[in-house]
Structure formats: C-alpha cells, structure tokens
C-alpha cells in the first residue's frame, strides 16, 4: 500500500452516531441491503461523472467503460466494491462520510424513542445510505480520488463505526471509489460469489450500468489459476426505457428505493412514454411515508432529470407543483439540451407543458389509488393530506380534480378521522340539499360539539369538520365541487334553502317579528361588542351563538395572521339567540335593566367560549356570573 500522509482522527457528528446505532440495531433482519445502498451510491457517482464530463471531457481520464465491480476474499472475510465514478476528495470524504447534511436531522434524531421496533420504522423516513455498511462490517475502508484531481490527492477513510473515523491522504492512480468491508464475525456468508450475485440480481438489476462480479472458474487440478475474468450480472439498462409490460413490480420497487433514497416500498407508481411534439419518459412514485423534512423549505424535492439517458440534475423542481413535492421519480427528455440549467428550466415553455402533463399523471395516479386501494389511500392521506391541501391555491387548473382527492372528517364519523370524500358526501346528501356544509375550528372536540351544528343534527344533515391549521385558508380557494357550493355554517345568516319547508320559513319569520323588541334591547346592551343581533334558526339546545360576518376573517385565519405579526382587520361577530330557550325567555321577561345587561353579556361571553374563542374581559364574565349565582341561591 502506498504512503499515507496527513493522517488524522475525527469524530462523527452526533446524528451520525445515532443513525449508526439505530441502523445496526434495527436492520439486522435485512442485512443484505447494505450492498444495494453501496451500489446505489456508486451508480450516483457514475451519473455525476458522466454529467460533469459533458463540459469537461478530460475528467474521463482516457475513457474506460464506466462500471461497478463487486469482489470478495473468503479468507480475509472482505467484500470490496469499486466504481470509476466521480470519486471523493479528502474534504468530500470528511463531510459526506462523517456528517448528515440534511437540515432538521438533529430534531428528527431527538424523536428516537430508544424502542428499536418503533425506531426502525423511522429509518424509512430517512433512508439508510452509506452507513448501512456497518450492519455487516466492523471496519469499513474507503479509498477514493475525485475525478480531475492529481493521483497524489487520493483519500483513505476508515472507521470501525464507533464514533470516529480516520482520514489520510494517499496516492490513488484510478479515479473513483473503492470500499472494503471487513465483515463482522458471523457475517462471512457475504464473502461468497453466489450470495453476492443473488443480492445484486435481487436489488440492483435496474442499475443502468454494468455491475461485474468475478467469473466463477473451477481451476483444473494441477493447472495454474487462470487470470481473473469478470462478468456482468445485472441487466444494465435504464429501467424507464424498457416497456412497461416487461418490468416486474419488484424491479419498479427497487428502482424507487435507489432514486428515492428510501428504505420502504412505494405506494404506487406511474410509468409513461410520451411521443409526438414532445418526447419524454417519466416514472413517478408515491412514497408510502412522508420524509421527516417534508415541511422544511430547503428539503430536497423534485425529480431526477435525464436528457437522452444522461443524468443531468437531481431535484429538478420545475416539473411538478409544490403541493406534489413528495413525489419521487425520473423524467428523461429528448427535447432538452444536455447543458440545461435550473434557470433555463424555470423559463422554458417546454417545461411548462411537461409540468402540466406530469401533474395530471400524478393526480390520475392518486385517483386510481383512492379508487382501487382505499386502505392505502387512507395511509397516503395521513402522510400527505396536509400538503395536498395546498393544491387548490397553487394549481387553479386542477382545482376540481384536487378537491376530489381531499378527505375530511365529518359529523358522520365519530373519531375525527379524515376519510370522507366530497363525492361521498354529496352521494348521501339530503334530498334538496344543494350545498356542502362545513365548520372550521381549532380541535375536533371543539367543532364536534359546536352549537352551530344543532340544526344540522336535528335535520340529519352531514357537516364536514375542518380542524387543520390550513383548512380555513384552503376553503377560501374552494368555492364549489361538482356544481355545489361550500357553505361555512358559522358564517353569515344561515340559509338552508330547500332543506327548510315553507312552513318552517314562515314560522321563523313570524318568530323574528315577535322578537324585534328583544333584539333592540340586546343591541343596546351589548353595544359595540357585536355587529348585529338577530333571532337564530340554527339552535335547538344552546341559548345563543356567535356567527362570523359573510366577509370577515375566521378565527383560524385571524390567529395565523396574528402569529405572523400582521395586523388583523377588526371584525365583530353577529349575536344570534334561540328564542325558544328558557334563558332567553327569562331574559325577555327581565324587568331590571341591570340584570338584563348582566345576563346578555354572560350569554355573549358563553357563545364566544363555545366557539373556542377567548374572552376580551374574562374577569367581568366571572363577576357577572357569580352575581347571578348568588342571587339564585338566596
Ligand atoms: P445519499 O446517497 O442519500 O446521498 P449516502 O449515505 O448513501 O446518502 O451517501 C452519502 C454521500 O457520500 C453521497 O451523497 C456521496 O456524496 C458520498 N458517496 C458515497 N458513496 C460514494 C461513491 N461511491 N462515490 C462518490 N461519492 C460517494
Ligand atoms: Mg445513497
């Protein structure tokens, strides 16, 4: 071995130590995946080299065939992977093999419970990667040199996976990376040609470059061992270029794990080839689980872009809208230029039409999933529903389609689970119902018991219950679905249209007329606190309720604005009372103006509390209530 210089020992970043621990203890039942991960990295490294060589052909250093070699030594108990991809510099090795760069990793790691079974599920959100080598090896050595650097600028990285690694500068004649795994005792089964060949076939058949293993050759007795020969063991063609009918589900799944850096199978995929004015292939996947950084702005998103089979860019964001940022996949274009840049992608009209076609594909795929695999779609909604709710605001053209994919909790369920589709809601709507009713609020418990629902319960009309932070904002973009408009039941003067009979309407009018005097008295008493006082038709059990003005902001939006430090426009609620309620009857008959004032303020404050709002002057509420209680008990 060549001379080593500038030797140092460095510590792993804390998160790496945690990941290593988690990996070793939770992935023991599927050890062989280490090979898939290392081959995946080698393939990425070759992709990067190919791409950089487009503008700097000298990086190819003579241009030997790009490939990956996997070999083993039964006696030394080692497995070795070698690629002639982009390679790593000393700095690269220190950062890429000693830290995890993803933002939010530290927070993610804090969530580990120490319960290995539970934690092993978390790894799916993370991907396992290079460190999976330590599942089978108690020492890993990496010899690498970045393409373009001098042979004297090679790097030797080595670690026992126990908190630190050693790094030294070495001579390395060939560009690329060689990884030597010193197998743990008990893991020597991997130092075996047959075993390795099977693992490569199983997980890495789709890798688009040749993976070679030593040819098995029986040396005839007495003869000298022949020179080493290699043979390709994988299919070595880009998966998305093959016809759909010839690709097995397992191949699609393994390919997903490679490009998605995921440990689990995807939920669904869609593979298409477009010919005509534009020519491209796409292979899009819906992951089974949300990555931990789904809501982080800088988190990687976007598709892997190829131009005529040459890898050009990771995380090409221009091909899908933001609300579909969880989709993983590949797009391979025949129309783009090989030196396309992110800036060009943002402006190119070709990209616009590809984007709208790919968006449709994804929405179609989700529709299919919802229809054919409702249980799986439930899981999808749990993971990605919040992100899908960004859709109607971002993607006007597909509003109706997206609305069809949304799922809501409703008064029909009793667990707050979001599993009602709008189509389903309409299918079981009451005769004469031409609206979609909904109520937004802070928590499910709060909206479920809201007085706003009383009349709906009485008439057996279903109401959607929306309690996600984004919901009110979402509803400001959704006006109708299937020709039926949405109605916020806490807003404005509730008009049940055909759901109220002519008699009911007439009766309501008469009651309202007979209570005009009471309305005026309450108005005078509550004064500035309300914008209007009126008789309610939506209450059966509660004495009073606060409705939001037709044009006013709802509570969620107000809170969001307040939290972001913005000025919230002033708005006053409408006080509606239930004329049939004993407390209101009492109020109506109250002679003392002082007591009338106390009682109407108490009713107002109670209505605010029931709506989940906080009181402007809680002490006054308590004082008034106690006064009444004392009078009651005398
Ligand atoms: P990921 O593949 O998701 O980026 P990994 O843990 O698998 O994460 O790899 C970490 C990083 O180490 C890679 O992103 C790459 O920069 C570097 N790396 C790993 N293997 C190789 C290799 N064979 N050649 C060049 N770089 C590599
Ligand atoms: Mg990797």
Over 80: is that where the pLDDT of 607 sits? Answer: yes
Domain boundary among 498, 513, 537: 498
Q: In terms of domains, do 389 and 361 share one? A: no
Over 70: is that where the pLDDT of 117 sits? Answer: no
* 556 found inside a domain: no
The answer to whether residues 102 and 291 touch, using CB atoms and an 8 Å cutoff, is: no
Does the CB atom of residue 409 touch ligand 1 within 6 A?
no
The answer to whether residues 415 and 473 touch, using CB atoms and an 8 Å cutoff, is: no
Q: In terms of domains, do 482 and 596 share one? A: no
Does the CB atom of residue 86 touch ligand 1 within 6 A?
yes
Cα(268) to ligand 1 centroid in Å equals 26
CA-closest residue to ligand 1 atom 12: 96
Give the predicted TM-score (pTM) of the model: 0.86
Top pLDDT among 145 and 561 is at: 145
* 414 found inside a domain: yes
CA-closest residue to ligand 1 atom 20: 41
The CATH number for 430's domain is 3.40.50.11260
> What would the pLDDT profile of 229-284 be if each residue is shown by its tens digit?
999 999 999 999 999 999 999 999 999 999 998 989 999 999 999 999 999 999 99
Q: What is the widest separation between alpha-carbon atoms in the chain? A: 121
Over 80: is that where the pLDDT of 390 sits? Answer: yes
Give the Cα-Cα-Cα angle 340, 345, 349 (nearest 5 degrees): 115
CA 256/CA 286 separation, integer angstroms: 10
Q: In terms of domains, do 247 and 344 share one? A: yes
> What would the pLDDT profile of 326-383 be if each residue is shown by its tens digit?
999 999 999 998 888 888 888 889 999 999 999 999 999 999 999 999 999 999 999 9
Q: In terms of domains, do 576 and 492 share one? A: no
Q: In terms of domains, do 391 and 519 share one? A: no
CA distances from 606 to 331, 489, 519, 583, 590 (A): 57, 19, 18, 12, 19
Burial 538-572 (b: 16+ CB within 10 A, else e): bbbebbbbbbbeeebbbbbbbbbeeeeeeeeeeee
CA-closest residue to ligand 1 atom 15: 96
Percent of the chain topping pLDDT 70? 97
> What would the pLDDT profile of 566-589 be if each residue is shown by its tens digit?
888 888 999 999 999 999 999 999
Q: Return the pLDDT at 103.
A: 76
For all residues of the chain together, what is the average pLDDT? Answer: 92
Q: Is 125 annotated as a binding residue?
A: yes
Q: Three-state SS string across 502-523, please?
A: HHHHHHHHHHHHHCHHHHHHHH
Give the Cα-Cα-Cα angle 283, 286, 290 (nearest 5 degrees): 140
Q: Return the pLDDT at 627.
A: 92
Q: In terms of domains, do 462 and 494 share one? A: yes
Give the Cα-Cα-Cα angle 244, 249, 252 (nearest 5 degrees): 75
Q: Is 341 annotated as a binding residue?
A: no
CA-closest residue to ligand 1 atom 18: 41
* 557 found inside a domain: no
Encoded tokens for 270: 């869609």
Cα(527) to ligand 2 centroid in Å equals 66
CA-closest residue to ligand 1 atom 11: 96
The residues pairing with 69 across neighbouring beta strands, listed in sequence order, are 82, 212
CA-closest residue to ligand 1 atom 10: 96
Does the CB atom of residue 129 touch ligand 1 within 6 A?
yes
Q: Is 12 annotated as a binding residue?
A: no
Q: In terms of domains, do 276 and 224 share one? A: no
Residue 239's CB: how many other CB atoms inside 10 A? 22
Domain boundary among 379, 403, 427: 379
Q: Locate tokens 């003067």: which residue?
A: 493
Q: In terms of domains, do 255 and 174 share one? A: no
* Probe target for ligand 1 pocket from 41, 92, 180, 292, with the most ligand atoms within 8 Å of CB: 41
**Residue 133 CA: which ligand is closest?**
1
**Residue 102 CA: which ligand is closest?**
1
Encoded tokens for 30: 């599927």
The answer to whether residues 15 and 105 touch, using CB atoms and an 8 Å cutoff, is: yes
Q: In terms of domains, do 48 and 194 share one? A: yes
Q: Which of 143, 165, 145 minimizes the C-alpha distance to 98?
A: 165
Top pLDDT among 2 and 244 is at: 244
Does the CB atom of residue 88 touch ligand 1 within 6 A?
yes
Q: Is 128 annotated as a binding residue?
A: yes
The CATH number for 300's domain is 3.30.230.80
Q: In terms of domains, do 513 and 375 share one? A: no
Dihedral angle sign, alpha carbons of residues 435, 441, 443, 447? negative
Q: In terms of domains, do 80 and 142 share one? A: yes
Q: In terms of domains, do 119 and 89 share one? A: yes
Q: Is 85 annotated as a binding residue?
A: no
Domain boundary among 478, 498, 518: 498
The CATH number for 185's domain is 3.30.565.10
Rounded (10°) CA dihedral 258, 259, 264, 265: -100
Q: Which of 172, 177, 18 minimizes the C-alpha distance to 99?
A: 18
Beta pairing class for 268-274 and 211-214:
unpaired
* 561 found inside a domain: no
* 558 found inside a domain: no
The answer to whether residues 145 and 87 touch, using CB atoms and an 8 Å cutoff, is: yes
Atom of ligand 1 nearest to the CA of 37: 7
CA 184/CA 161 separation, integer angstroms: 12
The CATH number for 622's domain is 1.20.120.790
* 560 found inside a domain: no
Q: Three-state SS string across 206-250, please?
A: CCCCCEEEECCCCCCCCCCCCCCCEEECCCCCCHHHCCHHHCCHH
* Probe target for ligand 1 pocket from 15, 98, 130, 148, with the most ligand atoms within 8 Å of CB: 130
Cα(145) to ligand 2 centroid in Å equals 18
CA distances from 145 to 8, 149, 169, 171, 559 (A): 18, 7, 10, 9, 54
Cα(8) to ligand 1 centroid in Å equals 21
Task: Tell me the residue range of the domain where 167 lies.
Answer: 5-236
Query: Which DSSP string corresponds to 401-448?
Result: HHHHH--BEETT-SS----B-HHHHHHTPPTT--EEEEEE-S-HHHHH
Beta pairing class for 464-466 and 435-440:
parallel
- What's the total number of domains in the chain? 4
The residues pairing with 182 across neighbouring beta strands, listed in sequence order, are 78, 139
* 611 found inside a domain: yes
* 175 found inside a domain: yes
């Amino acid at each position: 071995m060549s001379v080593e210089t500038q030797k140092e020992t460095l510590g792993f970043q804390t998160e790496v130590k945690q990941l290593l621990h988690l990996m070793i203890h939770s992935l023991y039942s599927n050890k062989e995946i280490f090979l898939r991960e290392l081959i995946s990295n080698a393939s990425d490294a070759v992709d990067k080299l190919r791409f950089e060589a487009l503008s700097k052909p000298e990086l190819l250093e003579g241009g030997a065939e790009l490939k990956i070699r996997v070999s083993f030594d039964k006696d030394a108990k080692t497995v070795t992977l070698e690629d002639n991809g982009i390679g790593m510099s000393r700095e690269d090795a220190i950062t890429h093999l000693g830290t995890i760069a993803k933002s939010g990793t530290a927070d993610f790691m804090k969530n580990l419970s120490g319960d290995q079974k539970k934690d092993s599920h978390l790894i799916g959100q993370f991907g396992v990667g290079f460190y999976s080598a330590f599942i089978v090896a108690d020492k890993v050595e990496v010899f690498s040199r970045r393409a373009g650097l001098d042979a004297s600028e090679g790097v030797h990285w080595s670690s026992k996976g126990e908190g630190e690694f050693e790094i030294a500068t070495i001579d390395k004649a060939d560009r690329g990376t060689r990884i030597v795994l010193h197998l743990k005792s008990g893991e020597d089964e991997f130092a075996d040609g047959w075993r390795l060949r099977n693992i490569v076939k199983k997980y890495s058949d789709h890798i688009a470059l040749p993976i070679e293993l030593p040819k098995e050759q029986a040396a005839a007795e007495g003869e000298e061992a022949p020179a080493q020969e290699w043979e390709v063991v994988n299919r070595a063609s880009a998966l998305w270029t093959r016809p759909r009918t010839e690709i097995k589900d397992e191949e699609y799944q393994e390919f997903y794990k490679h490009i998605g850096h995921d440990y689990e199978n995807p939920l669904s995929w869609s593979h298409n080839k477009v010919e005509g004015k534009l020519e491209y292939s796409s292979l899009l996947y819906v992951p089974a689980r949300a990555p931990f950084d789904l809501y982080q702005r800088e988190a990687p998103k976007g598709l892997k872009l190829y131009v005529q089979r040459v890898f050009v860019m990771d995380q090409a964001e221009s091909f899908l809208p933001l609300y579909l940022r969880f989709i993983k996949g590949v797009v391979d274009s025949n129309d783009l230029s090989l030196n396309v840049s992110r800036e060009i992608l943002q402006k190119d009209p070709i990209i616009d039409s590809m984007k709208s076609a790919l968006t449709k594909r994804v929405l179609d795929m989700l529709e299919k999933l919802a229809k054919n695999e409702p249980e799986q779609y439930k899981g999808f909604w749990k993971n990605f529903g919040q992100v899908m709710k960004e859709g109607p605001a971002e993607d006007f053209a597909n509003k109706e389609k997206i609305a069809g994919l949304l799922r809501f909790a409703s008064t029909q369920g009793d667990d707050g689970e979001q599993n009602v589709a709008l189509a389903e809601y309409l299918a079981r709507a009451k005769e004469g119902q031409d609206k979609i009713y909904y109520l937004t609020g802070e928590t499910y418990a709060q909206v479920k018991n809201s007085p706003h629902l009383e009349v709906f319960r009485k008439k057996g009309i279903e109401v959607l219950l929306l309690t996600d932070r984004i919901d009110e904002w979402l509803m400001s973009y959704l006006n109708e679905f299937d020709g039926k408009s949405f109605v916020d039941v806490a807003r404005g003067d509730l008009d049940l249209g055909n759901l109220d009979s002519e008699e009911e309407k007439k009766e309501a009018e008469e009651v309202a007329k007979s209570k005009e005097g009471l309305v005026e008295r309450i108005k005078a008493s509550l004064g500035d606190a309300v914008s209007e006082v009126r008789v309610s038709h939506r209450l059966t059990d509660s004495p009073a309720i606060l409705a939001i003005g037709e044009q006013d902001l709802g509570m969620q939006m107000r809170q969001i604005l307040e939290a972001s430090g913005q000025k919230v426009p002033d708005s006053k609620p409408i006080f509606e009372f239930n004329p049939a309620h004993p407390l209101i009857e009492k109020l109506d008959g109250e002679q003392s103006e002082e007591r009338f004032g106390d009682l109407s303020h108490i009713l107002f404050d109670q209505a605010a509390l029931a709506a989940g709002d906080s009181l402007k002057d809680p002490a006054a509420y308590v004082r008034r209530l106690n006064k009444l209680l004392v009078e009651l008990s005398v």
